Amino acid sequence: MDSIVENVVVKDGVDQETVDAVREVGGAYKHGWSTDIEMEYAPKGLSPDIVKLISEKNEEPDWMLDWRLAAYERWLQKKEPEWAMVDYPKIDFQDQYYYARPKSMETKPKSLDEVDPKLLATYEKLGIPLKEQLILAGVDGAEELTGAPRKVAVDAVFDSVSVGTTFRDELLKAGVIFCSISEAIKDYPDLVKKYLGSVVPVSDNYYATLNSAVFSDGSFVYIPPGVRCPMELSTYFRINAENTGQFERTLIIADKGSYVSYLEGCTAPQRDIAQLHAAVVEIIIEEDAEVKYSTVQNWYPGDENGKGGIYNFVTKRADCRGDRAKVMWTQVETGSAVTWKYPSCILRGNETQGEFYSIAIANNMQQADTGTKMVHLGKNTKSRIVSKGISAGQAQNTYRGLVSMHPRAKDSRNYTQCDSLLIGDKCGAHTVPYIEVKNNSSRVEHEATTSKVDDDQLFYCRSRGMDEEEAVALVVNGFCKDVLQALPMEFAMEAQQLVAISLEGSVG
């Protein structure tokens, strides 16, 4: 399986670059290796003591601990949601670790030079070099396009802790705060206090409440008024330890008139036992500010029999508080055994805009239940949803979304398009949209289709000398084009490769 493109004779008209790209990523999950590093764990299981311990490890102030403990109490009263079209064995919340950090991180390194070389090597291997002046791997052409090296600041999260954040000083010069959330709690308590939990309340849902109690680290971003963030920011999440859940929390605040583009990537080693990842991302967007949030989610999806993999239960929400605020979510979901994720937009200010572009690919035994919520509260608000779901193998892929026009949201617009593609007759594709229109000056349009890969298109590609795998990849890429085009360049390439590999073996 790992050499499907090895012996392909390249015919005229087939882009050599595409073939190389596919060859490079060819084969099974390529981030399935693990780093052998000495770890320090909190005792297994979940209790107030564990919550206290996490708070202690992060040297948090009392108000933060109180917040966590209150969340823990709420969590005990909550029930696990069952409405999603996903099916997985009951999670034993007492049979896993809630905190794991590399021993070498016991005292926080002052600079990247002090970070354990093993950790640096891990990110190097993942194509995320934690060195300044370097651009992200896979976008070598970027320099030529822009004339100057493109910089991307990275916050690298390894299991429960942030290993390091690059370009901090340069960003600070522009007034941008980019650090781990554990540092932010200590260094910028006023900002954190003001905004944490203001978009995703503590008791929002089962997993968000769990996250509020036990989140260990994550990223914090503050863009001051009128600042266009000088470079793209990114967080790379890596789960390495076994039997360990990752609970990270991201808080992004875009003050009046500011702009930031934020990228998120994630991978995990190949393990037989499923692991839990329950993150919360909160974004606050003030007047005239704009945030782009892009994710390439490539957690370990489990093997072809559904053994192992990450359970990805994530709550992401952006609150467009000020007038004319804009948010754009772009996601490419290819990994995880089970995905439960609905990046949402609260369009509170007048003339605010929310956009959601998604490609969700589920292969083998994967299950994805993902979509968005567009809550129109302000006047003249606009939203657009483009969702492409692809199912192959025995996978189940569900789009679930809400478009809500409140009585006050006069003259608002929504356009939703969700298409599903089925490859093979053992998979499923489902669409569950909720539409609530409570005023008549707003217009809501929803369209959805489900179809299989078009035989004529495949035949055409085959007649040009492509093999079946390549032809499917090309057709699928065409199907996903709307979404891929919305991705920042750093991700577009990787996403295209992912679209190709996730479909391997799905034909015939």
Partner 1 sequence: MTVLTKNFRDIELRIAKLNLPQGDWATEARTDALKRLRSVGMPERRDEYWRFTRPDVFNQSGTPPATVSAMEKEIVFSQVDALQIVFDDGIFNAKESDTLALEYVSIDRLAESSSDTHWAKSLYGQLETNGQKPVPRPLGSLNTAFATDGILVLVKGSAPKPINIIYNQKEETSDVTLHHVVRLEAGAELTILESGPAAARLNNVIEVDVADGAVFHHIRTQNNTKDNHVATHIFARLGNASTFKSFTLTINGKLTRNECLIEITGDDAVAHVAGACVGDGNFHQDDTVFITHDAKGCESRQVFKKVLRNGAVGVFQGKILVKAGAQKTDGYQISQSLLLDGDSQFLAKPELEIYADDVICSHGSTSGAIDEDALFYLRSRGISEYEATNLLTLAFLAEAMDEIEDEDLREMLTRQLEGWLERHRG
Q: How many residues bind partner 1 (CB under 8 A)?
A: 37
Residue 219 CA to residue 156 CA, distance in Å, equals 9
Based on the shown chain and the rule CB under 8 A, indicate whether residue 38 belongs to the binding site for partner 1: no
Q: Is the CB of 310 or the CB of 347 nearer to partner 1? A: 347
Q: What per-residue string of b and e applies to 376-406 under the rule 16 or more CB within 10 Å gives b? A: bbbbbbbbbbbbbbbbbbbbbbbbbbbbbbb
- Which DSSP symbol is given to 113? G
- Which DSSP symbol is given to 451? E
Based on the shown chain and the rule CB under 8 A, indicate whether residue 422 belongs to the binding site for partner 1: yes
Based on the shown chain and the rule CB under 8 A, indicate whether residue 445 belongs to the binding site for partner 1: yes
Cα–Cα distances in angstroms (integers) from residue 451 to residues 65, 232, 430, in the given order: 51, 37, 12
Least gap, CB of 133 to partner 1 (angstroms)? 49
Based on the shown chain and the rule CB under 8 A, indicate whether residue 468 belongs to the binding site for partner 1: no
Least gap, CB of 456 to partner 1 (angstroms)? 14
Options 205, 431, 496, 497; binder of partner 1; rule CB under 8 A: 431
Based on the shown chain and the rule CB under 8 A, indicate whether residue 137 belongs to the binding site for partner 1: no
Based on the shown chain and the rule CB under 8 A, indicate whether residue 80 belongs to the binding site for partner 1: no
Local structure of 172: helix, strand or coil: helix
Least gap, CB of 427 to partner 1 (angstroms)? 7
Least gap, CB of 449 to partner 1 (angstroms)? 4
Based on the shown chain and the rule CB under 8 A, indicate whether residue 475 belongs to the binding site for partner 1: no
Contact pattern from residue 349 through residue 388 relative to partner 1, giving x for each residue in contact according to CB under 8 A and a dash for the rest:
----------------------------------------
Residue 200 CA to residue 202 CA, distance in Å, equals 7
Please name the residues in contact with 113: beta carbons below 8 A apart, sequence gap of 6 or more: none
Least gap, CB of 424 to partner 1 (angstroms)? 6
Options 203, 439, 457, 477; binder of partner 1; rule CB under 8 A: 439
Least gap, CB of 446 to partner 1 (angstroms)? 4
Output the six-digit token pair for 495: 């996403």
Strand-strand pairing, 396-405 and 428-437: parallel
Local structure of 206: helix, strand or coil: helix
Options 200, 423, 472, 487; binder of partner 1; rule CB under 8 A: 423
Diameter of the chain by CA atoms?
A: 68
Based on the shown chain and the rule CB under 8 A, indicate whether residue 446 belongs to the binding site for partner 1: yes
Based on the shown chain and the rule CB under 8 A, indicate whether residue 441 belongs to the binding site for partner 1: yes
Based on the shown chain and the rule CB under 8 A, indicate whether residue 425 belongs to the binding site for partner 1: yes
Based on the shown chain and the rule CB under 8 A, indicate whether residue 506 belongs to the binding site for partner 1: no
Beta pairing partners, 232 = 152
Based on the shown chain and the rule CB under 8 A, indicate whether residue 507 belongs to the binding site for partner 1: no
Contact range with partner 1 by CB under 8 A, out of 149-157, 181-189, 227-235, 448-456: 448-456
Contacts 24+ apart (CB under 8 A), 143-152: 145/489, 150/231, 150/232, 150/489, 150/490, 151/230, 151/231, 151/232, 152/231, 152/232, 152/233, 152/234, 152/263, 152/490
Based on the shown chain and the rule CB under 8 A, indicate whether residue 205 belongs to the binding site for partner 1: no
Options 426, 454, 468, 478; binder of partner 1; rule CB under 8 A: 426
Based on the shown chain and the rule CB under 8 A, indicate whether residue 434 belongs to the binding site for partner 1: yes
Contact range with partner 1 by CB under 8 A, out of 38-46, 201-209, 242-250, 417-425: 417-425
Contact range with partner 1 by CB under 8 A, out of 98-106, 197-205, 298-306, 425-433: 425-433
Burial grade of 43 (CB within 10 A; 0-12, 13-18, 19 or more):
exposed
Least gap, CB of 241 to partner 1 (angstroms)? 35
Output the six-digit token pair for 51: 């919550």
Based on the shown chain and the rule CB under 8 A, indicate whether residue 505 belongs to the binding site for partner 1: no
Output the six-digit token pair for 269: 């080693």
Options 175, 428, 465, 505; binder of partner 1; rule CB under 8 A: 428
Options 4, 53, 91, 437; binder of partner 1; rule CB under 8 A: 437
Residue that has been written with the tokens 């007034």 in this structure: 175
Strand-strand pairing, 338-341 and 367-370: parallel
Q: Is the CB of 127 or the CB of 433 nearer to partner 1? A: 433
Residue 106 CA to residue 77 CA, distance in Å, equals 34
Please name the residues in contact with 110: beta carbons below 8 A apart, sequence gap of 6 or more: none
Based on the shown chain and the rule CB under 8 A, indicate whether residue 447 belongs to the binding site for partner 1: yes
Binding site for partner 1 (CB under 8 A): 82-83, 85, 407, 410, 420, 422-452
